[in-house]
């Protein structure tokens, strides 16, 4: 049986413009978009119509970089840069996830807020702990959200209680891969970043990625001190990206690198060649005084770019707030670059937050035919009252000034999760 | 009779640190803070206690630069810079306020949202229209909010339907001054900015400001094109600030200048000498690709700085979102300045959004003895759940990740308005 959703449908199939179908019908079959039409006359078989007239129907948001275990730390320690922030706030919090009871409390709250804020697909860092990582994956499976989850790997330069033995780190990772096969929520190989992974660990993780065809995520060139540190740790390798590449973790399987602020042109070119996704985390990059990623340059080089909330370096799970910050940051970059790197348009940033990041999952993040039916129903009546705005203006107003209370329903694979 | 409010009280009396009184009593008499104490034993006379145990009690927010008439335009046209944005979106919207019915609909919504978002004091631009400006002042008086409202003056370089005759502009302004004497909501002289005011108009407005001791507000050095334009209009005057000064609108009475991004050191020094307030509007400055104000430099020069949402250049009335953006922008400025202009701390930005801007009104924006009892009750239980945080951490988490649904009560002069 088909399910049909009536409303003002708007999405991006490319970064340059919106597809807009006002007062139309979104037809969903087996969790996938079948078509959008203006009337239902041509449809002969059984169907159920859910009427969201005057509401916006938009793709669910895609968050390709966030740390679920840092959820309770949101908004804390924003007076520090990356490395001291990790040591003072983040590592002590992550160490608590050895305790599965604690993990359960945080992860249940995290998932419920993820749904409330309309994020239907996400690529997540858990912690080094196998049990609580498996728990997070179970809870996400129950929630029906779409996700990749990474057990974090670290065997050097971290606090004592988060530093793993290399063998154990690899064994736990493989256990998770084997234990979650065939489930909706998938594992992703997650070396935290070069400074906290020995060559042996990186090589071992690359072997697992290849053996089981598992994707990879990590951090790249977020902070100048971090870049210097990597140079000291691997003086024989020409740049940061090439360290990952040398150890087989840079596009050998599907890969996301987060931040990418101080990356050289040579590294960006390598990302483009290898199909490595960049996760842009504007809010986090502001908060930790990291800098502004030159997104326009990546797009010009043909790199795929998605958006990451990067909680709790980022201060909110809200992807609309990240869209706004992404556009704002690109405007400052435009000024900084002597008006060379042109600012991102609203459609470009919206695309990044939906179909752009969604491509990491496959046909996700759009409402074109054949795409997963992941979408939000937005009641924007408290934002737009009185003036008669079209769907494009209403979407802008919702993204720039709305919040999660405007999201009245959330669907994943055509099934309601909020 | 006294009214006593129990809760976790936190505010800034200076920019460097917070005053924190957990589980304490805020004692209010005749709309003014009398004291804060740990127990009530010493209080002998009649009182009523309102129990907000486990809730935060913080000063109401102060917004010293916003355009009420642009409220319905929030989130629109953010792909433009200042001058084209004014001509395409802003001036056509402002022209609608000739219609008093339209004004009533927008202003009622605006005031209700101002209260919901916890802004208890604001310094507002209306439009050129006398009737709708008087209506806004009446509605604000009814709401009990604290406000200055300016009828905008423009007699050159604007659209035909917003361009006033100089005499009429001055006469309408004086009518408003005379018609609102003795009321809570006060008028403020509001030449829009130098490009839209002839020397004759500026001189006439300065005369009114002096005659009735009325404060002044305008815009200063928001955009490089605007600065160039002013130079062309007044080649005989050495800089933008000095144009206002020459015509008697730069601190001769209490004055606010908004934006101040491209101001020279000489101009900043003049602001400091004249006690001119700077309204920092980080979100608007991002959205209109204007640039980042070097706030640290102003503070170092001893200029008083408050925060403005600057809707609809800014994309939200929420002052917490402006606080976050203010801190973030200062971090980017720190990087841009070669780490010379040190980032703003959380307490500095919170101070700017409360007591800093509040000083324009008098004893406003703090919960010290003798200050107006303008405060918010914050239920942050959905943000802080599980972990035991102190009031300082809870405030950070609310500002960085909360929203208006956390504000459960709003008081002005000790009276409840939400």
Does residue A84 surpass a pLDDT of 90? no
How far B15 CA lies from chain A's nearest CA (Å)?
15
Reported as type and span, the H/E element at residue B367 is: none
With CA atoms as reference, report the closest residue to A402 among B110, B75, B381, B112: B75
- Cα–Cα–Cα angle for A255, A243, A194, nearest 5°? 80
Nearest CA in chain B to A96: B387
Structural contact between residues A352 and A379, judged by C-beta atoms closer than 8 angstroms = no
* pLDDT of B386: 66
**Beta carbons within 10 angstroms of residue A139's beta carbon:** 20
Question: Is the CB of A20 inside 8 Å of chain B's CB atoms?
Answer: no
CA distance A318 to B400: 12
Question: Is the CB of A399 inside 8 Å of chain B's CB atoms?
Answer: yes
**Beta carbons within 10 angstroms of residue A127's beta carbon:** 27
Phi, psi of A81 (to 5 degrees): -90, 175
* Helix ranges, B73-195 (H): 82-85, 91-95, 100-116, 130-143, 166-179
CB pairs under 8 A between A and B: 96
User: How many secondary structure helices (H) and strands (E) does chain B include?
Assistant: 16, 17
- Cα–Cα–Cα angle for B243, B247, B248, nearest 5°? 115
Cβ–Cβ gap A292/B397 under 8 Å:
no
Decide: helix, strand or coil at residue A37.
strand
Give the lowest-confidence range in A84-93, A99-108, A203-212, B120-129: A84-93
Structural contact between residues B380 and B406, judged by C-beta atoms closer than 8 angstroms = yes
Read off the pLDDT of each residue in A143-161 and give the average, rounded to a whole number. Answer: 97
With CA atoms as reference, report the closest residue to A323 among A346, A343, A295, A355: A346
CA distance B256 to B278: 6
DSSP β-ladder status, B152-153 and B119-125:
unpaired
Cβ–Cβ gap B386/A109 under 8 Å:
yes
Cβ–Cβ gap B332/A292 under 8 Å:
yes
Per CB-CB distance under 8 Å, the chain B contacts of A117 are none
The answer to whether domain A2-59+367-416 has CATH 2.30.40.10 is yes
Average pLDDT, chain A: 96
Structural contact between residues A376 and A410, judged by C-beta atoms closer than 8 angstroms = yes
Per CB-CB distance under 8 Å, the chain A contacts of B334 are 289
Query: What is the separation of C-alpha A178 from the centre of its chain, rounded to a whole number of angstroms?
Result: 24
Give me the residue from A72, A331, A400 closest to B74, CB to CB.
A400
CATH topology of domain A61-358: TIM Barrel (3.20.20)
Task: Give Cα separations from A229 to A193, A197, B30, B41 (angstroms).
Answer: 11, 13, 60, 59
Give the lowest-confidence range in A150-164, A293-307, B168-182, B372-386: B372-386
Per CB-CB distance under 8 Å, the chain B contacts of A79 are 343, 345-346
Which residues 227-266 of A are in CB contact (within 8 Å) with B?
none
CA distance B213 to A286: 42
Cβ–Cβ gap B331/A289 under 8 Å:
yes
Does residue A79 surpass a pLDDT of 90? no
CA distance B192 to B150: 10
Does residue A386 surpass a pLDDT of 70? no
Structural contact between residues A56 and A409, judged by C-beta atoms closer than 8 angstroms = no
Does residue A63 surpass a pLDDT of 90? yes
How far B87 CA lies from chain A's nearest CA (Å)?
18
Question: Is the CB of A225 inside 8 Å of chain B's CB atoms?
Answer: no
Decide: helix, strand or coil at residue B32.
strand
Structural contact between residues A270 and A245, judged by C-beta atoms closer than 8 angstroms = yes
Tokens 């990067």, located at residue? A310
The 3 state secondary structure assigned to A79-127 is: CCCHHHHHHHHHHHHHHHHHCHHHHHHHHHHHHHHHHHCCEEEEEEECC
**Token pair in block for residue A181:** 């096969």
Cβ–Cβ gap A399/B75 under 8 Å:
yes
With CA atoms as reference, report the closest residue to B90 among B158, B151, B136, B156: B158
For chain B, the farthest-separated pair of C-alpha atoms sits apart, in whole angstroms, at 68
Question: Is the CB of A289 inside 8 Å of chain B's CB atoms?
Answer: yes
Interface test with A, best of B78, B102, B343, B345 (most A CBs within 10 A): B78
Per the confidence metrics, is the pTM higher than 0.90? Answer: yes
Does residue A59 surpass a pLDDT of 70? yes
With CA atoms as reference, report the closest residue to B379 among B397, B352, B366, B354: B397
For chain B, the structural domain boundaries read 2-59+367-416, 61-358
- DSSP secondary-structure letter at B225? H
Provide the residue-wise pLDDT of chain B in tens; the chain has 418 residues. 689 999 999 999 999 999 999 999 999 999 999 999 998 877 777 888 999 999 999 999 999 999 999 999 999 988 888 888 888 889 999 999 999 999 999 999 999 999 999 999 999 999 999 999 999 999 999 999 999 999 999 999 999 999 999 999 999 999 999 999 999 999 999 999 999 999 999 999 999 999 999 999 999 999 999 999 999 999 999 999 999 999 999 999 999 999 999 999 999 999 999 999 999 999 999 999 999 999 999 999 999 999 999 999 999 999 999 999 999 999 999 999 999 999 999 999 999 999 999 999 999 999 999 999 999 999 999 988 666 899 999 999 999 999 999 999 999 999 999 8
CA distance A187 to A254: 12
Per CB-CB distance under 8 Å, the chain A contacts of B393 are 76
**Beta carbons within 10 angstroms of residue A342's beta carbon:** 15
CA distance A283 to A280: 9
Structural contact between residues A221 and A260, judged by C-beta atoms closer than 8 angstroms = yes
Instruction: Write out the E strands in A190-297.
Output: 190-191, 216-220, 255-259, 277-280
Interface test with B, best of A401, A404, A406 (most B CBs within 10 A): A401
Per CB-CB distance under 8 Å, the chain A contacts of B101 are none
The string of pLDDT tens digits covering residues A169-208 is: 999 999 999 999 999 999 999 999 999 999 999 999 999 9
């Amino acid at each position: 049986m088909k399910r049909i959703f009536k409303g003002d449908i708007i999405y991006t199939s490319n970064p340059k413009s919106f597809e807009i179908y006002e007062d139309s019908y979104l037809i969903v079959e087996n969790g996938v978009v079948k078509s959008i039409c203006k009337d239902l006359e041509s449809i002969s078989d059984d169907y159920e119509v859910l009427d969201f007239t005057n509401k916006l129907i938009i793709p669910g948001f895609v968050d390709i970089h966030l740390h679920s275990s840092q959820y309770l730390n949101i908004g804390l320690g924003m007076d520090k840069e990356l490395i001291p922030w990790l040591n003072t706030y983040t590592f002590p919090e992550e160490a608590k996830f050895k305790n599965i009871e604690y993990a359960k409390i945080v992860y249940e709250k995290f998932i419920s807020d993820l749904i409330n804020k309309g994020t239907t697909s996400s690529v997540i860092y858990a912690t080094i702990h196998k049990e609580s990582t498996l728990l997070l994956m179970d809870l996400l499976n129950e929630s029906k959200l779409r996700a990749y989850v990474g057990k974090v790997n670290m065997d050097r330069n971290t606090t004592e209680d988060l530093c793993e033995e290399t063998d154990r780190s690899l064994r736990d990772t493989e256990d998770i891969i084997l234990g979650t096969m065939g489930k909706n929520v998938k594992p992703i190989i997650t070396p935290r970043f070069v400074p906290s992974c020995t060559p042996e660990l990186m090589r071992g993780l690359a072997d697992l990625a290849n053996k089981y065809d598992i994707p990879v995520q990590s951090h790249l060139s977020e902070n100048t001190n971090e870049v210097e540190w990597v140079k000291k740790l691997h003086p024989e390798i020409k740049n940061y990206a090439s360290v990952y590449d040398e150890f087989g973790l840079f596009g050998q399987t599907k890969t996301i690198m987060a931040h990418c602020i101080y990356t050289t042109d040579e590294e960006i070119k390598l990302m483009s060649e290898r199909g490595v996704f960049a996760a842009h985390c504007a809010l986090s990059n502001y908060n930790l005084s990291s800098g502004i990623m030159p997104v326009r340059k990546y797009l010009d080089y043909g790199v795929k770019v998605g958006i990451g909330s990067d909680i709790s370096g980022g201060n909110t799970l809200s992807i609309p707030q990240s869209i706004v910050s992404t556009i704002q940051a690109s405007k400052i970059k435009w000024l900084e670059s002597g008006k060379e790197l042109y600012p991102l348009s609203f459609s470009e940033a919206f695309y990044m937050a939906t179909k752009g990041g969604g491509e990491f999952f496959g046909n996700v993040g759009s409402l074109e035919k054949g795409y997963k039916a992941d979408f939000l129903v937005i009641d924007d009546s408290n934002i737009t009252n009185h003036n008669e705005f079209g769907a494009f203006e209403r979407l802008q107003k919702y993204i720039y000034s709305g919040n999660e209370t405007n999201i009245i329903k959330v669907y994943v694979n055509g099934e309601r999760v909020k």
